[in-house]
């Protein structure tokens, strides 16, 4: 499998516990879980669990029951079922992907569900195409890389809830310094990338006594070089770390 293919399938969203909001029966067997999200401007798939056996790729049977989708508020995803070789596998697409690539006309539950229903054949086609590929948790590779490089890590985010949900993913031995780039996400929502990047860079200056800075959102990755220049620190991003890890997995 070519490395370029791996670069198109970087991680997205992941549950660590049983899916509370999915339809009954989905959590009985969960060997794998796959999610569609947006990375570098295009919808991609990722997931969790053990790496699939690539030798089964030619014979793997993937079907999508016509069950109604369910909205998972805690992860901002719409979940839908698949059957892989007869075993139930929960799948999910982020609301960001629905807005950017499947025509969600409003940023609310009704808009997301309508977009999912209209785009369901395409969404399921993406899930079918990528299901046999190696997958990573969304923050797994970046956190592992950060822990290898330092003990005092600045966690810079544009979304306040991330500063509560992501820290438990780091080892307890790590000193984590959380920092919110206030107003940056709102600027990005307005389409003002320059203002978003300026606010991210401004916030990063408060982390200059750390060993390195980890950018919590995928959407922050384009600002990484600016943050590195302003902070004079190594800067890690989730997509870049995930691509490097997938290259390693595919070449090993």
Q: Each residue of 183-215: pLDDT tens digit? A: 999 999 999 999 999 999 999 999 999 999 999
* Contact predicate 202/108, CB 8 Å: no
User: Whole-angstrom Cα distance, residue 51 to residue 36?
Assistant: 17
Q: Which two tokens stand for residue 136?
A: 């990573």
- Mean pLDDT for 41-60 is 43
Pick the residue with more confidence: 252 or 145? 145
As a whole number, the mean pLDDT across the chain is: 77
Q: Which two tokens stand for residue 204?
A: 């990063």
* Contact predicate 93/77, CB 8 Å: yes
* Contact predicate 10/239, CB 8 Å: yes
Give pLDDT, residue 216: 95
Distance of CA 238 to the CA centre of its chain: 8
Q: Each residue of 220-250: pLDDT tens digit? A: 999 999 999 999 999 999 989 988 888 887 7
Secondary structure of 194-244 in HEC code, one letter for each residue: HHHHHHHHHHHHHHCCCCEEEECCHHHHHHHHHHHHHHCCCEEEHHHHHHH
- Mean pLDDT for 52-77 is 70
pLDDT at 71 over 70: yes
Q: Each residue of 83-97: pLDDT tens digit? A: 877 777 778 888 888
pLDDT at 24 over 70: no
Q: Which two tokens stand for residue 220?
A: 């922050």
Spell 133-143 as b/e; 16+ CB within 10 A means b. Answer: bbbbbbbbbbb
Q: What is the dihedral of CA 125, 126, 127, 130, to 10 degrees?
A: 120
Phi-psi region of 103 (alpha: psi -120 to 50; beta: other; left: phi over 0): left
Give pLDDT, residue 103: 83
Length of the chain: 252
pLDDT at 36 over 80: no
Query: Do the bridges between strand 212-215 and strand 70-72 make them parallel or antiparallel, or are there none, so unpaired?
Result: unpaired
User: Whole-angstrom Cα distance, residue 117 to residue 95?
Assistant: 13
Percent of the chain with pLDDT over 90: 40
User: Whole-angstrom Cα distance, residue 123 to residue 101?
Assistant: 10
Q: Which two tokens stand for residue 127?
A: 């899930």
Nearest-5° angle of CA 100, CA 104, CA 110?
145
Nearest to 249 by CA among 134, 147, 155: 134
User: Whole-angstrom Cα distance, residue 241 to residue 138?
Assistant: 10
pLDDT at 172 over 70: yes
User: Whole-angstrom Cα distance, residue 179 to residue 208?
Assistant: 12
Residue ranges and CATH numbers for the domains of the chain are: 3-130 (no CATH), 140-248 (3.40.50.1860)
pLDDT at 18 over 90: no
């Amino acid at each position: 499998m070519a490395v370029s293919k791996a670069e198109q399938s970087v991680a997205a969203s992941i549950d660590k516990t049983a899916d509370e909001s999915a339809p009954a029966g989905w959590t009985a067997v969960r060997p794998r879980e796959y999610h569609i999200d947006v990375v570098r401007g295009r919808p991609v798939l990722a997931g969790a669990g053990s790496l699939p056996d690539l030798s089964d790729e030619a014979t793997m049977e993937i079907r999508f029951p016509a069950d109604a989708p369910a909205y998972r508020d805690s992860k901002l995803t719409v979940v839908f079922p698949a059957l892989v070789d007869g075993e139930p596998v929960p799948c999910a697409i982020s609301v960001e992907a629905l807005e950017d690539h499947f025509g969600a006309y409003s940023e609310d539950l009704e808009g997301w569900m309508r977009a999912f229903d209209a785009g369901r054949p395409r969404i399921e086609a993406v899930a079918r195409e990528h299901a046999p590929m190696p997958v990573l948790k969304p923050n797994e590779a970046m956190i592992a890389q950060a822990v290898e490089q330092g003990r005092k890590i600045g966690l810079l985010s544009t979304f306040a809830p991330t500063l509560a949900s992501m820290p438990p993913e780091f080892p307890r031995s790590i000193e984590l310094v959380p920092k919110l780039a206030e107003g940056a996400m709102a600027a990005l929502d307005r389409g003002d990338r320059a203002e978003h990047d300026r606010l991210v860079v401004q916030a990063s200056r408060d982390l200059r006594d750390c060993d390195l800075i980890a950018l919590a959102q995928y959407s922050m990755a384009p600002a990484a070089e600016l943050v590195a220049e302003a902070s004079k620190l190594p800067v890690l991003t989730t997509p870049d770390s995930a691509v490097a890890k997938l290259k390693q997995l595919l070449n090993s």
